Amino acid sequence: MKQQVRLRRRKIQGPLSGLRVIVTGKGGVGKTTFTALLAGELKQRGLSVLAIDADPQEDLAYSLGFSPAEIVPVTMNRAYLEEKVGSGGIINLNPDLSDIVTRCGTRRADGIGLLVMGTVDSAGGGCLCPENTIIRSIARQVRVKDGEAILMDTPAGLEHFGRGLGRGFSHLIAVSEPTAQALRTACRTAELAGELGIQNRLLVINKIRNEEEFQRSREILGDTDLFAEVFRLPYDERLTRQKELTALTAGEESPLTEAIGGIATLLIKKERE
């Protein structure tokens, strides 16, 4: 069994110019969990992974196995904000953030990198404060290198699209639970992503406990053309217990591994098209 997994993974390796993936969906559906699993899968396939946590709740660090104490969110890095955007009267609305990953990011020994954006006062959603200016610029300015994947975990809901967070990304993964409300939010994020020019949109219906739940979700979706493909992830008790998730699917053959592997394969294939 183990050998099969290794063979499958080796087959899809090869040159890749880079992958920019944004993960969206309603709160609690499993965005952060999925982002960490995908980060682990892409890492195992030989890609360098940079995860960006754009959710003010900052959960991604735990799921990737970072110690949150070692991480300073960008919006808390006053010296960086001041240098790039300025403070007081004059604000640079177009800061050069090409050094943001090296200056504000953290890297694990195995190479998975993390950039935590931090909190922006929601009362200032449209304001010109340095935090917002940085966040608006981040997604566009973080360059993806050859053989690298950038995975961005986002806050629940849709507001971040208003800030243009997904601009420049080529793949959207909308995560949902098998409920009408969560599926509606996933569809809405896919529509907005389409408006931002994100071409490859995938839906992941998470926490599926049985075939009936999946079929019901397909019925709710109808014959939408919002998504290039619909994936399912099983409900897996281990995900609720384990903190560090990046190695969970390594070297095992399970419905969860199959699903994450299938998504990674499709992302790589679409990126090469």
Encoded tokens for 221 = 């979706």
Site string for Mg ion, 57-86 (x = CB under 5 A): --x---------------------------
Rounded least distance, CB 105 to ligand ADP, Å: 20
Considering beta carbons, is residue 29 or 139 the nearer one to ligand ADP? 29
Rule CB under 6 A: is residue 207 a binding residue for ligand ADP?
yes
Rounded least distance, CB 60 to ligand ADP, Å: 8
Q: Kindly give the residue spans of alpha helices, DSSP state H, lying in the chain.
A: 2-11, 31-44, 60-64, 78-85, 100-104, 130-141, 159-162, 180-195, 211-221, 237-241, 255-272
Rule CB under 6 A: is residue 152 a binding residue for ligand ADP?
no
Q: What letter does residue 190 receive in the DSSP assignment?
A: H
SS3 state at 54? coil
Rounded least distance, CB 261 to ligand ADP, Å: 15
Q: By rule CB under 6 A, what count of residues binds ligand ADP?
A: 16
For the chain, the farthest-separated pair of C-alpha atoms sits apart, in whole angstroms, at: 63
Range 15-18 contact pairs with CB under 8 angstroms and sequence separation of 24 or more? 15/146, 15/147, 16/47, 16/146, 16/147, 16/268, 16/271, 16/272, 17/144, 17/146, 17/271, 18/144, 18/145, 18/146, 18/147, 18/148, 18/149, 18/150, 18/271
CA distance 53 to 273: 28
Encoded tokens for 28 = 């609690």
Question: Could you give the angle at which helices 255-272 and 31-44 cross, rounded to 10 degrees?
Answer: 70
Q: How far is CA 199 from CA 27, 143, 145, 195, 218, in A?
A: 24, 18, 20, 9, 22
Rule CB under 6 A: is residue 33 a binding residue for ligand ADP?
yes
Residues 150 and 48 sit within 8 Å (Cβ to Cβ): no
Residues 48-67 that bind ligand ADP (CB under 6 A): 59
Encoded tokens for 211 = 């075939």
Main-chain phi, psi angles of 167, to 5 degrees: -60, 135
Residue 27 binding partner per list Mg ion, ligand ADP, none, with a CB distance cut-off of 5 to 8 Å that depends on partner kind: ligand ADP
Q: By rule CB under 5 A, what count of residues binds Mg ion?
A: 3
Binding range to ligand ADP, per CB under 6 A, among 10-18, 31-39, 65-73, 159-167: 31-39
Tell me which of 206, 217, 246, 257 binds ligand ADP, using CB under 6 A. Answer: 206
Residues 8-27 that bind ligand ADP (CB under 6 A): 25, 27
Tell me which of 9, 20, 31, 232 binds ligand ADP, using CB under 6 A. Answer: 31
Rule CB under 6 A: is residue 160 a binding residue for ligand ADP?
no
Residues 3-32 that bind Mg ion (CB under 5 A): 31-32
Residue 197 binding partner per list Mg ion, ligand ADP, none, with a CB distance cut-off of 5 to 8 Å that depends on partner kind: none
Tell me which of 52, 233, 263, 267 binds ligand ADP, using CB under 6 A. Answer: 233
Considering beta carbons, is residue 9 or 31 the nearer one to Mg ion? 31
Q: Interface with Mg ion by CB under 5 A: which residues?
A: 31-32, 59
* Interface residues toward ligand ADP, by CB under 6 A: 25, 27-33, 59, 206-207, 233, 235-236, 239-240
